[in-house]
Each structure stands twice: as structure tokens, then as C-alpha cells.
Chain A
């Protein structure tokens, strides 16, 4: 086995709790209706192209991307559009959503639904990017950044390496792990497709060392090829962060405020590689994803292939129902995920897991004064000073926060996790970050 790599500065080791690592991906039974938000990506919300009463097929375009950072949205089942209204989503706020009453699972005719593996890549790079854009693919790791934008390398920059992110450093989550085990060949072809689109001849699949079965399987699959290699990594959170992964593998540092392509690298999630394979080879838009449903008190934790728009409650039902002692349900992983305030919120493209916490497993402890132990500085993967940033945010000194590079914070939560005084560092840093970003936007407007 190759030498293990990792990023040099910071990081924490939360208990892994990968309870569902051995659970095969199961398909979820269809719910009665789905709620599909039109904003499942960071850019402008997509514009609905259907209206009330329209019949839609599975995979049909129901909302068109609005602007550069936006992505298409497709229907995840066949049925009737019952209404277009605002509905609560994972953000905790109401967003415009398309409600579809399901009548069946009739697909659009273009999609190839057979299980045959298509290895030959016929499309040109331009066609590939267009297909990915049409399929509405976004980064499935969590940030949901539209994939086609990442694949368009700016003319003045050169990309030489594609990294497939299979680190999955969040505790509990196993969706990428299972996908790599069960759809390994598809992920490899998806990787080749993206390499062709980017025009690079080298790709590295990065996997943390706590997934030895996935590492050996993918190494077996790429044996004899010198364009794709598998790189095992030491287990450390937040290794799945784009900048940390690049630092771990290439030793290059993405400049502050820059993009990975500035150092010649593009990072894509393993789940995204699978979605790219399906979109390009099988004409299948992004309408489903693997969601880990986990939690120590859950009866049947598992990995489920869930259609976009499925309510979180039906995933929890599949996992054996909400345990009586449950106090918190988190969308995403426990480190970076977000507590869900209503179980009717739909599964969106960026939701990689649902974690149910029982009483005593979760909850805040009253916090004390900073004892200047500097633990938060040691664990910060971006080399920031979380204790200072929190104090500045408490005192509303946002200009100072800008000088202290608060915009580099990726909100991994390592500082809050490690603080012995239980100080809510990330809450205040996030407040400062959004305020500073707003200040910068206003400055640029002038």
C-alpha cells in the first residue's frame, strides 16, 4: 500500500461512528408526493417551466437554470404538478418549490435505464459539459456548486490534475463509501469523462484509510492504467475540504480567495462522478442521490437511494421510524450539517445524510470565558485564529475581522468541536463571515 497522505495543519479526530458502512444501498419506496425546491444550489433559484396541473415524467425539466451559477431542476417522479408554492426547506426558510403528486415512475424516453456498463466515451468535451449542465448536476458532497462551471477551465488558467474526493471525513456518513463499493466501475468511467472534459490526463481518487475495501476495489479496477491512481489518506477531519485535499495530495496551497484551478487542480466528489457517468452515458438527469440515514438509537440505519424531493420523514421511516428519545435530526453530517426544524423538508441534491441524535448525544453546554489555551488555533485547517474572530464578532468589529481573513473560514466546526470552554466559536465566526461578505459586496457595488 502507498504511503498515507494528509494535510499538515489543523484537523480533529471526531469518533467515526460509521454505523452503516456495511449496509447496501437500498431503493426507497416512492412517497405519495414530492416537494422539489427550485434553489438547491448556491446561485440564483431556477425558474419553474411547468405550471399547476401539468403532467410530468420522471426526469423531465421542471425548472430552468437562471444565470451562470444556477442549475436545472428535474422531476423525480412522474405525476401531476399540484402547486408551485413556498415550502420549508433545509435552510429553515420557505423557498419556492414545485409540489408533484406522484402517479407512477414513467421516465422520459431519452434515458437508458438498463444496467449495462457503457465504457466508450463518444462525446466531445463541449458535448460532455453541455450534457452535465442540462442534467442539472451539482457537487454532491454538500456545497452543491454547479459541476459544469468547475469543468470549464478559464482560458488564462491551466488544469493538470483531477481529484476525485472519496475522503468522506464526516462522522456517520457512508454514502460515498457505499457508492464507491457498489458503483466503482461507473465512478471510474465518470472520472474519465470529466478528465476528457477538462483535457487532463491524470486523476487521483482520494480515499481515507478507514475504507480499506473501497481502496482495494478501486485499485483493482484501475490496475494497469497509469492515468488514474488511488491515493489512501490518513483519517482526519476535515480532509474532504477541497483545499485540504489539494494540500494533502499535491502539497500545493490554494491562495486565499482563489479557486483550486489557480493551482491547476479540479476536485469533484465521488458521488458527482457517478452522476456524471449517468448523465453523459445514460442521459439520466440528477434526480436521485444516496443518503445515509444513521444514528445510534435508530432501529435500521442504512444507505438509501432517495429521489430528490422525498420528505426526510419517509427516510427516517425507512430507518425504523423516529426513536422516542430523539432530540435532534441533522441534515448532512454531524460536523457541518444543519439541524432540521421540520421533518417534512425535502431531500435536496446536497444532502448526503440524515443523522438522528438521541437525548444526551447532542446539545449545547453553557459556555465560559476563553482560557487562551489556543487549541482552536492548532486545529484550524485554514490557519485562522478562531478565538480572536469570535471576540471581534461579539464586539461587532467587522472591519478587523476582514483583516483577520475571516472570509477564508470554511465553517468546518473544528474550533467549536475542540474548545474546552464550549465556546460557540463557529456561530460567531459565521455571523462575522456573512457580515464581512456583505460589506465586501456593498463595496464592490459602489
Chain B
């Protein structure tokens, strides 16, 4: 009895020993050197794997950061400045501050503003509807209201407003990763510079139809009337194809264009209420 136990222990023990020697030899022979800093940096990164940095996941980004000569142009939109500063400290490289961005929805084609002219009965996905036809309203540029952007958001920073049918972005949760920008088949969502207190002014329309035509379809369309362009003192506004665009880097948030816009296509957000009541058309302020 004791003999059998001894025998099996000896045999198994010797097999184990032999295998460990072989394994050790192989692991030394075929060793792949991996920079230990990759693990450290990956640990610092948020681990959302959102792709906002332009790489497929946080580990790939960490590898790219180590290989990079300078950190200019590399930014983790989720982690922001703090994470990038920490990464720079570990790598001993200079820090570059990248302006943090926030996504905005450039369409106000709610059920009220932009009337439905047909009924769609197929698969409820923006990308499929977009390939089929112009959508339930006559506006072939505006939001389709099926929420591909909300499905793409990894940070719960978006929801579909049931009243208007349009997506709403929660500024405090939005990391500016740009997943919704890629998901929107109509390029309605744009990443804009994040200003103090999340204040923003933008043209909330992407309709490039001629003015009268655009206004016929939607009450709050940009007609390209040039009024905002003329009043802007900072050259922040450009007009192309009957559509105004405000450069978020040049805009000083003076709010002059907002009151000037005759249709209410220019939207201000997160501003305190105005002191004097202006006679201009009331601009809808979206509240989160």
C-alpha cells in the first residue's frame, strides 16, 4: 500500500519537475519583451475602451503613447487633462493640454417644429432609414429620431426626449469621445470646444436647402440669411450653402447672433437669463 503511494508520488513529482524545467527553458527562449509601462499606463487610463482617442481600446492607446516621441495630438477625452498629465509624468514627457470637447445635437426638428409628412413602418434604425429615404419629415438633413446615437453612447450621456423626439446630451456626462458623431448617418452631432460652465452657442441646423424651402419644411431652420454673419465681430461665423456655422474656437459667447437670428436656429445653452428683455424672438433654451 505504502509502496504504491510512494511510487505515484515519485513518478508524478518527476514528471512535474521535468515539465517545469522544459517550460522554464521555453519561456526564456521565446520571451517577448513587453514594456512594463504599458501595464502601468493602461491602469491609469479609464478603461472605457470607447475609441475616443482614435485607437481601438485603452491598451492600444497605451502602447501608442509609449512609442510616441511627443504627446502632442494624443488625448484621452474620457480621462481629460489629469490622466494625460499623469501619463506624461510616468513617461517623462512634456504635457500638452488639449481642449476638451463636448457633443452637441445640431437639429431642432422636433415633432412641433418639423411636421411629419409620411409614416415609416420598417426597421427602427437611423442608418437603415437614412439609406432608404429622406425620413418621416420633409427635411432630408434633420434628425431621424430613432436613436442610433443614444445606442452608441457608452457613458449614459444621452437620452431621447419623448416630447421632441430628439436626442439630448448631458454635458456633465459627455466625455467627447465622438462615438455618437460616428453613429449619426446625417452628421448632425458635432464635437465643440467645451467652454466655461458648459456654455455654448451653435447653429442648431444642418439643412443646406435654400432659405424659403428650408423654412417651409421646418420652423427653426437656418436660412442662410447672413444676419448673424454681419453682426459677428470675431469672424466666427461662416455661411456655406445657405447654412451658417459658428467656429467654437473663435466664438466668444457674446450672444449677439442669438438675438439676431430671425428663425431661432442659433441656440444658446447654460447661460443665465438675460437681464433686459429684448424684443427679439424668444429663443428656446433647452434645459437638462
Contact = CB atoms under 8 A, between A and B. Distances in A.
A408 B10 CA distance: 64
Contact of B131 (A363, A364, A431): A431
A94 interface: yes
Interface string B169-189: 000000000000000000000
Contact of A428 (B128, B134, B138): B128
Interface stretch (B98-106, B116-124, B243-251): B116-124
B134 A93 contact: yes
Interface size class of A (residues with CB under 8 A): 10 to 19
A428 B140 contact: no
B128 A92 contact: no
Interface in B130-147: 131-134, 138, 140
Contact of B117 (A328, A341, A424): A341
Contact of B121 (A91, A338, A363, A428): A363
A341 B133 contact: yes
B127 interface: yes
A339 B131 CA distance: 13
A364 B134 CA distance: 19
Given A342-B117, A364-B121, A86 B133 contact: no
Contacts of A127: none
A374 interface: no
B41 to A, nearest CB: 28
Contacts of B132: 92, 338
Interface of A: 86, 88, 91-94, 328, 338-339, 341-342, 363-364, 424, 427-428, 430-431, 434
Interface residues of B, number: 14
Contact of A424 (B123, B127, B134): B123
Nearest to A364: B121
21 contacts: A86-B209, A88-B138, A92-B132, A92-B134, A92-B140, A93-B140, A328-B121, A338-B133, A339-B133, A341-B117, A341-B134, A342-B138, A364-B121, A424-B123, A427-B122, A427-B123, A428-B123, A430-B128, A430-B131, A431-B127, A431-B131
A341 B118 CA distance: 6
Nearest to B121: A364
A86 B113 CA distance: 22
Nearest to B140: A93
Contact of A434 (B121, B131, B209): B131
Nearest to A396: B127
Interface centre among A88, A94, A328, A341 (most CB of B within 10 A): A341
Contact of A92 (B121, B123, B133): B133
Tell me if B's interface is mostly helix, strand, loop or mixed.
loop
A431 B128 contact: yes
- Which 4 pairs between the two chains have the least Cβ-Cβ distance? A92-B133, A341-B118, A427-B123, A424-B123
Tell me if A's interface is mostly helix, strand, loop or mixed.
mixed
B209 to A, nearest CB: 7
Contacts of A93: 133-134, 140
Contacts, number: 41
Contacts of B131: 430-431, 434
Nearest to A394: B125
A91 B118 CA distance: 14
Contact of A88 (B121, B127, B128, B134): B134
A409 to B, nearest CB: 14
A92 to B, nearest CB: 2
B133 A91 contact: yes
A120 to B, nearest CB: 47
B276 to A, nearest CB: 42
A75 to B, nearest CB: 24
Interface in B10-62: none
Interface centre among B133, B138, B209 (most CB of A within 10 A): B133
A230 B62 CA distance: 70
B101 to A, nearest CB: 24
Contacts of B118: 341-342
Nearest to B118: A341
B122 A424 contact: yes
A85 to B, nearest CB: 8
Given A94-B134, A94-B209, A341-B133, 19 more contacts: A86-B209, A88-B134, A91-B133, A92-B133, A92-B134, A93-B133, A93-B134, A93-B140, A341-B117, A341-B118, A341-B134, A342-B138, A364-B122, A424-B122, A427-B122, A428-B128, A430-B128, A431-B128, A431-B131
A96 to B, nearest CB: 13
A434 B134 CA distance: 17
Contacts of A431: 127-128, 131
A262 to B, nearest CB: 29
A341 B139 CA distance: 12
A392 B6 CA distance: 57
A341 B122 CA distance: 13
A236 B257 CA distance: 63
A339 B134 CA distance: 12
A361 B159 CA distance: 35
A431 B117 CA distance: 24
Nearest to A434: B131
A424 B132 CA distance: 14
Contacts of A328: 121
Contacts of B138: 88, 342
A203 to B, nearest CB: 37
A54 B133 CA distance: 32
Contacts of A341: 117-118, 133-134
B126 to A, nearest CB: 11
